[in-house]
Amino acid sequence: MKLPIFIADAFTATAFRGNPAAVCLLENILEEDNHQQIAREMNLSETAFIRKLQPTDNFIQKNTNSTLTFVTLSGELKARKAEDGIVLDFPLYPTFPQDFHEVGDLIKAAIGDTLVQDIRYSPDTRKLLVRLSDSYDRSFLETLKVNTEPLPRIDRTGRVKGLILTLKGEPGEQAAPYDFYSRYFAPWVGLPEDPVTGSAHTVLSSYWSQQLGKKEMRAFQCSRRGGELNISLRADGRVDMKGGVAIVLEGTLTA
């Protein structure tokens, strides 16, 4: 069995940055074990399998529509091509104030005595958002050592499935003005740190829009790879996230 496969770095225009994902094109349905074997072989945080919904669908034929709709296990994902990247259409999830005493042990285990300015929780995504003090800058967040190993054991309620650390953008920043920064950790699902996370920004976009009073924002995820997102909140309660993409590998998988 020979399958076309690609590795694409998303939310960046530069190879070896952003969020790497393997994309495998399927002419026929594979067994679930095959999906898992291929994903383990790719050893990336995401491996996507795209198959035809109709026998007449054609991977080679050029798409004449500006928008593609993917039917995924998490629901429909719409993507459209822009002049300077790809725009993804996501839901927007609200956050609610979280009592520090309920999550204090988890936060302290992760970031020690780092100063915290705000704590929010997203029940829709089960993500805990921790805003660091405005006294810190981007370099602090980038170099902060986060201990993710004990977190699943500390949170025994099952409420938390992801930890977002975020920081307000720096006033007067000239080189690349960002409205906010973030890092994302999900050891609960076997992902110590994600390079760039669209789902985390469905929560971050809601939070920072309220904090900053803005509908249009630029964000940077401060992982080792780093990634940029242009965010636009829509009137229908959803959010558009635009980012670049770099194809770094194209080949054939023999399975």
| Active-site amino acid positions | 46
Bridge partners of residue 179, in order along the sequence? none
Q: Give the integer Cα–Cα distance in Å for 18 and 224.
A: 9
Burial of 219 (0-12, 13-18, 19+ CB in 10 A): buried
Q: Give the integer Cα–Cα distance in Å for 132 and 165.
A: 7
Q: What share of the chain is helix, strand, coil (3-state, %, to 5)?
A: 20, 40, 40
Count of CB atoms within 10 A of residue 67's CB?
Answer: 11
Given a contact cutoff of 8 angstroms between Cβ atoms, the answer to whether 28 and 243 are in contact is no
